[in-house]
Amino acid sequence: MASIIVSPRQRFAARVAAGIVGILVFKWIFFDSTTRAGEIAHPDILERITLGTPLSGQTLDTRKYPFLQSRINRDETHDVFDNDIDAGMQDFWTRFQKPFMTGSDTMHLDEQVVRGAIDELLGFNGWAAAACSSLTRPFGISKREDDWSDLARPGALYYFALVVHGADHFLVDQLAVIVQLARRLGPTSVFVSIVDYASTDSTPFLCDLAEMIMTLLGISFRIRQVPPMTQDPTASYYPLEEAYTRNLALEPLQELWERRKVQFERVIWLKGFTCPNDILETIRVSVVNQASMVCSMDWKEHNGFFIYNDRWRTRDMDGNLFRGSKSTSPIDEAPPRDAYGGARYTLHLPFQVFCCESGTHIVDPHKSYYLGLTYHSSVESVFNTTAASDGKAPRWSEGPCMDSAQLHFCRDMWMASFQDGIRDEAKRLHNEERMGKPRNVHPFMDDLIQSMLASYAPTTSDKAAAPVEADEVKAAAAVGKGKRRRLDKRRPRSLPNNAFPNAIAKILVNPRCVTTYAGVSHTQLALDLFGSGEDREPTQHEGGKYVLDEWRTAPESFVCQEMRTTGGRIAPKQQRRTGFQQSRLLLNGWRPT
């Protein structure tokens, strides 16, 4: 057998190549994959093998995973005093702080100082948060202690999202609320995402304060500063800005799911000021009702009295805007106009709505974001953003309702629930066909099953179960395909929403959870809304304190309060009634955005 003669130079080259391959393999196994600064890192192979799942135990450990605390686009422009300040800090650290921390005689004192600082931070209160314990609440809730252990169970994670635009008067109180909730739920159960959208006040400095506090407390966060979408405020289209910033605030949520398979129980959007216990109670309302979204009620002071504020994004179950009623108005002037919602509002109980935001609100990501739903505004090319700055009327053409990004999101949640209802119906038909039962279904249903099959693409379903469900849907669609050809001429173009009683998006308002603004007398508002707080607590037979015993399907139409022009938040709005036929929307190709 012929032998292969290898020269020393070839042996050296082979050793170098083997060494490079070995280093790459070692890095691939023991180190995270490369990601951009501030992003969630992908798990390495060794982590997958030894832990089973990344971030095992569903705790956000910032000491083990430093990428859980990041700051993006911080304003760090050089200042003329930077060198002097850095020199002074280094001198103070070297001569005083470091010897005090490491010296055997003083290190125990340093530990006491650090513990005392952390205890003060855990009790951190803003100017409004300090008054929360004195506010009256229905059913004597403010007089009872609650450990909220059902929410602080192991593995339950909560995602706090804030979009701040020149609102430094809110941020201190919102930070206080986050710290207090982290104390109740546990710092390793909380992730905070703050987007500072082109603030020109002291918000960037307060973001530095928030970063420092959350770093010391071990709270996971991402703080991001972004420039304005348009330099000219008169050329800005507010729903588009709203959708853009909210999707930015949700980026860590998606990264943690896609890269680490970390799922959050609820997403809490903080807006204005809301007391911590009210938020905890609203989370509980969301959990026991398995609700897609639960909102607070947003009040502001106006000419010496309080008025319900956020009517633009809120619609009752008849599709009407909420009234701008006073906090002292009689019960028959309640914000919800539908009878069932108004009856529950009078008892200070959660009630169903078509859409809401109303300040602080809580979203179940498993019924929204993990299904692929995002925030968006009206379709492109409907308006001309440059026209306003030129002094011309913006170009506009008739099309979808040009409402807030939140109302677009609500409609998508209703459509996602409608799609799931059609999927359940397809599975039922498939099972009945296998058992030899006659196919008892409206002929229009076959078209809906076909449409749903084209757009159904969940991201959170079990990988082993999803193909089975898809096969059942395909089988049900195939069975009805031949049968519906004889019925084309008499088949209706759509079905009313109430023909699908299992297609319900559970969107609620909790009237006991109030959101307010700077200068509002929280004590007086609570007295106006709830009196002494000694209301008779309803029995379980009457529907219970939290759980709704009746759910309605979506209305056939709603009032669209749309913004057809640019001009930011102050741009004028106008109203029109527009239809909302879910079956027709699905047939027209609706998909999760």
Please check the confidence at residue 251 and state whether its pLDDT lies above 60: yes
**What architecture is the 30-77+92-425+504-578 domain classified under in CATH?**
Alpha-Beta Complex (3.90)
> What are the DSSP E strand ranges found in 180-265?
190-197, 220-226
Q: Judge whether 332 and 341 are in contact, CB under 8 Å.
A: no
> Would you put residue 198 in left (φ > 0), alpha (ψ -120 to 50) or beta?
left
Q: What is the pLDDT of residues 54-75, one digit of tens each?
A: 676 678 999 889 999 999 988 7
Least confident of 187-191, 401-405, 522-526: 522-526
Any residues with CB less than 8 A from the CB of 531 and at least 6 apart, and which? Answer: 136
User: How far is the C-alpha of 454 from the C-alpha of 450, rounded, in Å?
Assistant: 7
Q: Judge whether 529 and 327 are in contact, CB under 8 Å.
A: yes
Please check the confidence at residue 244 and state whether its pLDDT lies above 50: yes
Average the pLDDT over 553-575 and give the result: 89
Q: How confident is the model at residue 367 (pLDDT cuts 50, 70, 90)?
A: very high
Q: How confident is the model at residue 518 (pLDDT cuts 50, 70, 90)?
A: low
Any residues with CB less than 8 A from the CB of 7 and at least 6 apart, and which? Answer: none
DSSP assignment string, 440-490: ---HHHHHHHHHHHHH---SSS-TTTHHHHHHHHHHHHHHHHHHTGGGTTT
User: In 3-state terms, what secondary structure has residue 516?
Assistant: strand
User: How far is the C-alpha of 300 from the C-alpha of 518, rounded, in Å?
Assistant: 9
Instruction: Report domain extents, the chain.
Output: 30-77+92-425+504-578
DSSP assignment string, 259-310: HH----SEEEE--SB--HHHHHHHHHHHHHHT-SEEEEEEEEEETTEEEE--
Q: Judge whether 155 and 264 are in contact, CB under 8 Å.
A: no
DSSP assignment string, 490-514: T--S---GGG-TT----EEEEEEEE
DSSP assignment string, 3-23: PPP--HHHHHHHHHHHHHHHH
| CA-based nearest residue to 357, from 267, 240, 277 | 267
Average the pLDDT over 578-590 and give the result: 89
Q: 355: which DSSP letter?
A: B
User: How far is the C-alpha of 326 from the C-alpha of 136, rounded, in Å?
Assistant: 18
Please check the confidence at residue 33 and state whether its pLDDT lies above 60: no
29 compared with 178, residue with greater pLDDT: 178
Average the pLDDT over 15-43 and give the result: 75
CA 311 to chain centre: 20
221, β-bridge pairs = 69, 192
**567, two tokens:** 């001009």
User: How far is the C-alpha of 274 from the C-alpha of 270, rounded, in Å?
Assistant: 8
CA 444 to chain centre: 35
Q: What is the pLDDT of residues 111-149, one digit of tens each?
A: 888 888 877 777 787 767 777 877 778 877 766 678 899
Q: What are phi and psi of 201, to 5 degrees?
A: -100, -150
Please check the confidence at residue 348 and state whether its pLDDT lies above 60: yes
**424, two tokens:** 């359940």
Identity at 434, one-letter amino acid code:
R
User: In 3-state terms, what secondary structure has residue 187?
Assistant: helix
User: How far is the C-alpha of 524 from the C-alpha of 573, rounded, in Å?
Assistant: 31
CA 443 to chain centre: 38
| CA-based nearest residue to 183, from 146, 235, 219 | 219
293, β-bridge pairs = 363, 507
User: How far is the C-alpha of 158 from the C-alpha of 161, rounded, in Å?
Assistant: 10
C-alpha dist (Å) from residue 542 to 13, 353, 529:
82, 20, 22
Identity at 545, one-letter amino acid code:
K
Average the pLDDT over 217-227 and give the result: 95
Least confident of 340-344, 381-385, 579-583: 381-385
Q: Judge whether 473 and 452 are in contact, CB under 8 Å.
A: yes
Average the pLDDT over 444-470 and give the result: 57
For residue 126, what pLDDT is reported?
76
C-alpha dist (Å) from residue 234 to 230, 387, 575:
9, 9, 21
Average the pLDDT over 272-301 and give the result: 93
Q: Judge whether 263 and 257 are in contact, CB under 8 Å.
A: yes
Average pLDDT, the chain: 82
End-to-end CA distance of the chain: 66
The count of residues in the chain is 593
Per the listing, tokens 């082979």 go with 14
User: In 3-state terms, what secondary structure has residue 220?
Assistant: strand
> Would you put residue 163 in left (φ > 0), alpha (ψ -120 to 50) or beta?
beta
Q: How many CB atoms lie within 10 A of CB 587?
A: 17
